[in-house]
Structure formats: C-alpha cells, structure tokens
Amino acid sequence: MERKVRVRFAPSPTGPLHIGGVRTALYNYLFAKKYGGDFILRIEDTDQTRYVAGAEDYIIESLKWCGLKFDEGVGLGGEYGPYRQSERNELGIYKKYVDQLLADGHAYYAFDTPEELEQMRERLKTAGGSSQQYDSVSRLTMKNSLTLSAEEVTRKIAAGEHYVVRVKIPSNEEVKFKDNIRGWVVVDSANLDDKVLYKSDGMPTYHMANVVDDYLMKITHVIRGEEWLPSGPLHVLLYRFLGWKDVMPEFAHLPLLLKPDGNGKLSKRDGDRLGFPVFPIEWKSPDGEVYSGYRESGYFPEAMINMLALLGWNPGTEQEIFSLQELVDAFSLDKVGKSGSKFDPEKTKWFNEHYLRAKSNEELAQLIKPVVLEHKFVNSKDEFLADVCGLMKERATFLNDIIEKSTYFFEAPKTYDAETVKKKWKEESSKIVEDLVVVFSNIEFKAATLEEAFKKYIEEKGLGFGVPMTAIRLAITGVGGGPHLFDIMEVIGKEESINRLNSGIKNINK
C-alpha cells in the first residue's frame, strides 16, 4: 500500500536557523505539499549541552515569516506528538528501543572513562592504524559488556557507574541505501564506528532519537542537509536492527550552500562580514550578539523563498519567478543537483525588487505607513502614500528605500544639492522659476497639463529643456534626479509646489 507522504524538519535548538536550514525546511514543505502529504516540525533537543534559550521560538517564528506552515509539530500538536524530543524521552519512548537493541545483541554497554578512551586513541595512533575509533576491532580491548562478565556488568550498573550504550556495528558487511539525490551510497561497515545511542543520564543521542521518531511518526522521506550523509549507513542499520526495514524512509541529502565566491560552506559569520543576512529574521544571542535577518533588512519573504528554492533545485525551464504555490507544483527531488550552490546576494535583491514592484500601490502604502508615522510626516493619507509608492517603486530595492529616497514628497527640501546647483543653476534660473510660478498658478495641477504649459513656455522664450527643468526640479525636490517631475508636482499639489518654487528663488545659489 502506498503510504501517505510525511516529511519532517527536525532542527536542534542550538542557535538561530541558518538560511541553509530554511532551505531544508522549504524543500521538505514543497515535497510534502506536492504529494498531498504532511510537513512536520520536530524539535531535536536531546543534547542539553548545546541547548540555546530562545532558539526554538526563533525557529517557529522564522518558519511562520517564510509562510512554511507545518501540519503537525511543536506548538501545534498532532496525532504523533509530543514533537519535542526531551518530552518524548520523559515518556520513556526511546529507552524501550534501546533495551530492545541490547536484548537482541545489536547494542552493548560501555563503561570506559574519557581517559581510557583517550588512551585507546593514543595507542591506535602509535600502532599506525588508519582509524582511532571505537569500532568492531577496538571494542574488544575496551571495558564493555562484550568483554566483561555479565555479573560485572550488572554490578557496575547497580553501583551507578556511568555508562553509555553503543551500537554494535557488524565487522565486515556492505551497507547500502539509495539516496534520491546522490544515487547509491555504499560503505563497508568496517569503516563505521560504534556510535553512542544512549547515556546513563537517561538521554538518547541524536541517532537513536532521530531514527525512532522517524519510525513512530511514520516519516516516508528524510530530506536533510548533506552533513548528515555520513550518518545514513548507521541509520539504515538501526532500521534493520529494530525490524523496521520495510518502512524505512527514503533519503535525500541536499547539497551545501556555498559562499558567493564558491570557496567553502556559507557560514553564519559570512553574512554580516560580506554585507548580507544569512538568517531569516534577526537573531539576538543570549550573550548579546546580534545577527541581521532578511525580515529586518527589508526583504519580502516571497523574495527570500524564491531565491532559496533555486539554490540547489532547477526547474528545468527559464522561469525564475515562482510563487510558493508554483514552487509546490514544479518541485521535484530529481531536479535537485548534487553539487553545492553559490549564494548570490545580488540576485536576492533582484528578486526583492521584483516582488516590490509586483505589489499594488495601495498595499505598499499600508506597508510604509508605520514608517511615515514614525517620521511624523504631515501627510500620511492613504491615497497620497499610494501615489508616492507608485512613483518610487521602480527605483527601490527595499520598502524603506521608498521613503529614504523620497523625503521630498513629505517635506520641502532644506538644502539643495550643491553639485547640481553648481552645474545647472544659471544666472537666468531665478527668473525662469519666477515666470513658471505665474504659469503654474493659473492652470489645473495635473502632470500632463503642467508639462504642456512648461513646454509652451520654453518654446515661447526660445529656451532649451535642461536649464529650466533642473531649476524647478531643484526647487521642488532639492536634488537633481528622481521620478518624472510633473508627476511629483501633481502628487504634492499646487500650494506646496508653488511655495517650494518661491523658496527656491530665494534660497538657491545663496
């Protein structure tokens, strides 16, 4: 019987969610939705030493901002909960399976102290072997339930000695599985080590909890970062040891996200070093460090998601702009490449410009309104703001650019760009502006009418276009460039425009 597609995003709350983690979540989401399946958020918090306060909330908030809604998970619940591994552990979920592995001879107790482990590594190093791991060979020289008598093991455990449970990797066997992105992965079990599955403090390790939960939560596809590829063979063995081979999920290990120059993995420090965010939303670490986020830097989630989708997945067509739904429809794992993808911050800006321009003037007006109010600008009427957005959106990359580059819509210029004044404000400029005040005062204040009147005036006077145009632009905006001047004048209105022209005559060139 075909199983319902169920995938999970399983971050550990060890810090903020890196953009690479967001991509993993996105691909899981797209895959689930494409096949009418479930997308689950599971928090893998069994390693208490790496727990960072605030990280879990950050992860949930980030997914929400990105629009990646999960169907089950922490904070939401679901049929297979709880979804936080520390809570699952308290219910004894993992211990049961650790005991099963021990009883079946697929795992064993080990009592070695950190010093003894270190001595083993030294010994193996001196002997010149290629590996210094705790494995099918070295375990025979260590203090564990394979080398100690049953009575000794029972005595040690009863005496409360620290122990770990290790998986007993077969000594010489081919372990293989098919990765949906990389094809067959084959390793010789002699190269695998006897990883710790459980500790006497009552906590399972990542491997144990991860495999047990994927099984219990009926996960059909494990889609995760390439860094987990080396864990694949161990997980495959655990499925086999626990008798779950027939329901083992399919695997897909996603390629790395690389630095813009392609030299190595994109790290959390790269963003602020190279001037772009590597986190979806701002992160303030418990010790006060602040890392910038896409949200706070003025990016739209649609732009970030669109950019991330194409970093590793290729639609096979020229199409670049995809809504989330279009991504769902087009996504497939077989178009995810094997090699790493270079991060391209300029392209992300390009996506942001696209999404900014695609928004209606009215929607943009609502988005900039809080900033307008914060600046205490006099005119914050919706219609006026929509007009400003309409004129400025072609010139903006981020929402904030609209206001930063357009303050002259909101207030009269306080200064006039010295360079432009020097080059373009001529002896006759004051007189021209004076004349135009009269011309503009007596007509309807519409861009087309203003332009027509302006053209008629310069024609009559036998003037060129440049000097008169720059003169009024300087008086109205204080700068030499911007949207079509007569559009600006129409938006700010007659009274304000005439006032500014008059102030210009008085104040420019002084």
**Contacts with 360 (C-beta within 8 Å, 6 or more apart), sequence order:** none
Do residues 477 and 389 lie in contact, with contact meaning Cβ atoms separated by under 8 Å? no
Residue 240 CA: distances (Å) to CA of 97, 136, 179, 358, 435 = 13, 18, 17, 52, 90
Any catalytic annotation for residue 199? no
Q: Does 65 bind ligand GLU (CB under 6 A)?
A: no
Contact 19, 311 (CB under 8 A): no
Using the contact rule CB under 6 A, the part of the chain among 4-12, 109-117, 282-290, 437-445 near ligand GLU is 4-12
Which of 10, 153, 234, 248 is the binder for ligand GLU (CB under 6 A)? 10
Query: Is the CB of 207 or the CB of 494 nearer to ligand GLU?
Result: 207
**Maximum distance among all Cα pairs of the chain, rounded to whole angstroms:** 113
Nearer to ligand GLU, 54 or 260 (CB): 54
Which CB, 25 or 403, lies closer to ligand GLU?
Answer: 25
Binding of residue 44 to ligand GLU (CB under 6 A): yes
Closest C-alpha among 252, 250, 242 to residue 220 = 250
Among 6, 7, 11, 120, binds ligand GLU (CB under 6 A): 11
Rounded to a whole number of angstroms, the minimum distance from the CB of residue 12 to ligand GLU is 4
Long-range CB pairs of 456-462 (<8 Å, 24+ gap) are 461/432, 461/435
Confirm or reject binding of residue 197 to ligand GLU (CB under 6 A): no
Query: By CB under 6 A, is residue 46 in contact with ligand GLU?
Result: no
Among 224, 393, 473, 500, contact with ligand GLU (rule: CB under 6 A): 224
| 22 residue type, one letter | V
Task: Using the rule CB under 6 A, give the single segment among 10-18, 31-39, 190-198, 360-368 that binds ligand GLU.
Answer: 10-18
Beta-carbon contacts of 24 under 8 Å, excluding residues fewer than 6 positions away, are 9, 223, 224, 225, 254
Minimum Å gap between C-beta 223 and ligand GLU is: 8
Find the catalytic residue in 34, 156, 265, 268: 268
Give yes or no for residue 62 binding ligand GLU (CB under 6 A): no
The DSSP code sequence of 422-477 is HHH--TTHHHHHHHHHHHHHTS---HHHHHHHHHHHHHHHT--SHHHHHHHHHHHH
Query: Could you tell me the smallest distance in angstroms from the CB atom of residue 142 to ligand GLU?
Result: 28
**CB 328 within 8 Å of CB 34:** yes
Q: Which residue number, 255 or 482, has a Cβ lying nearer to ligand GLU? A: 255
Q: Closest approach of Cβ 42 to ligand GLU, in Å?
A: 8
Paired residues of 184 in beta bridges = 178
The catalytic residue positions are: 268
Report the interface residues with ligand GLU, using CB under 6 A: 10-12, 44, 206, 210, 224, 228
